[in-house]
Structure 1
């Protein structure tokens, strides 16, 4: 994988990205034998805290015999796409610790010590932790206060604490009310495109309906650059 940024050690954000995988998430496995390397597809099954990762053994009727590639103590590279949330390819290396054939054909591995990530988005995004008010445009009513995690001319990603009861729904039209350093309020209109969650936060991807020129002016006023 080219143009990857490697994180040495696992930060809280790295752990969040790993824990964003849900059972059934498609994954790509890079596996190596003494003579060659191959890529196969499988799916994530689960994990036991930070002790191990569990992966479904790839379908050998589709990929051929894998006994020379997947065995105890051999290493493999796992890749998956965090497309709905951050638009990233995430990769990590683990070591096989156990292979079960019954009741299901599963691979148990060590927990990753580091991850690599590569942004898939075509447009740059400014990273931020700005608090904004989210408004339901249909009823002109305040939904909640959320945190803008990143923002571009076309959209943004927000997070809302799980304890908050009034939250947006998919396809809902909303407005986000920003305030600059002088307390002046600015509005961006958009629609909710996707949602995910972890133990602490709900994450939503928003697509802006506001013209890009107006978004760019707002970002300049807020001193958020996406260059």
Structure 2
């Protein structure tokens, strides 16, 4: 196994690291699969499940008719699978595989060979440090009233000069935040006054009743952010 700052490779039979990657592949996850023979075709398919060391099961492309892609979706054809881990790790995972079998009853399913080698790549240019900083998110910069119902109260669970991950406990009927501009409110430990950072929601992930939101800070806020990180004694190279 080879590891560096930007890439991780896991080889041979399933190891603890390899099993860790597959813990992120929960049933229902949408993954990207690319075929290059005889032409390049990509699908977004839903994972049904997998048997460690044996195979993965994906839903057959919904848009494919009985005879569509008959030269691509065939046993033995190779493919590349990619999926994103959007949580604290922020990684893109990829591996090569091939079609073991295709079933048409009772459901149309694709069986893929279990990978012998898994690679991951960090999606972030800068590393983030774990934190436990109370914060708020608003859709408008002027929303600073503590009783304002439009403010989302949560915790910054990791942070860097370029972004952070914000976690909040929500009700079952809560609709995940869309990709858009928001404002992150963080209390300065120096004077207990809120520092408002113009930011952008890049992704979000719901796990149970916890919503984890990936946030990118606006580049114009770097001076303000550096002072804030210094006040929290957070030193990120």
**TM-score interval for Structure 1 and Structure 2 normalised by the shorter chain:** 0.5 to 0.7
Are 2:52 and 1:43 aligned? no
Aligned residues: 213
The 5 A counterparts of 1:169-184 are 169-170=177-178, 171=180, 173-178=182-187, 180=189
- Tell me if 1:18 matches 2:25: yes
* Whole-Å separation in 1 of the counterparts to 2:43 and 2:73: 13
Q: In the alignment, what sits opposite 2:57? A: 53
Seen in structure 2, the aligned counterparts of structure 1 residues 139 and 85 have a Cα distance that, compared at 3 Å, is same
CA distance in structure 2 between the aligned counterparts of 1:132 and 1:77, rounded to whole angstroms? 40
State the match for 1:218 in structure 2. Answer: 228
Q: Residues 148-177 of structure 1, C-alpha deviation per residue, up to 9 Å, x if partnerless?
A: 33x333322222234598898433633332
In structure 2, what is the equivalent of residue 145 of structure 1? 154
Provide TM-score, normalisation by structure 1: 0.64
TM-score normalised to the size of structure 2?
0.62
**Which consecutive residues of structure 2, in runs of 5 or more, have no partner in the other structure?**
none
Residue aligning to 2:7: 4
SS in 1 for 2:25: helix
Distance in 1 separating the partners of 2:81 and 2:120: 12
Evaluate the alpha carbon distance shift between residue 200 and residue 111 of structure 1 in structure 2; reply closer, same or farther with a 3 A threshold.
farther
Q: State the distance in 2 between where 1:203 and 1:113 align.
A: 31
Q: SS state of the match for residue 216, structure 1? A: helix
1:134 positional shift: 0.8
Aligned position for 1:155:
163
